[in-house]
Amino acid sequence: MTYHRWTHSMLQSLSAEIDRIKKENDNMQIELRHLKGEDLNSLQPKELIMIEEALDNGLTSLHEKQAL
């Protein structure tokens, strides 16, 4: 009986971890679409500024690597 409870507990824990990872993946896909310039209409100005800064930082990093 103890083994069964432990296994059930482990399955619940793994299921919760899978749900967390799926949600994180969904959020990352949304962020990627935003970085690609898609689905921007729903964003607030502050969020748009953050995306612009992330893109600027990426371009700066790319230019620095090209200069080497």
Q: pLDDT digits over 6-30, tens only?
A: 788 899 999 999 999 999 999 999 9
Residue 66 has pLDDT above 80, yes or no: yes
Q: For 39-58, write each residue's pLDDT tens digit.
A: 999 899 999 999 999 999 99
Residues 6+ apart with CB under 8 A from 39: 30, 33
The model's pTM: 0.69
Please give the full DSSP string across 26-46, using - where no structure is assigned.
Answer: HHHHHHHHHHTT-S-TT--HH
User: What are the structural domain ranges in the chain?
Assistant: 2-67
Q: What is the pLDDT of residue 53?
A: 94
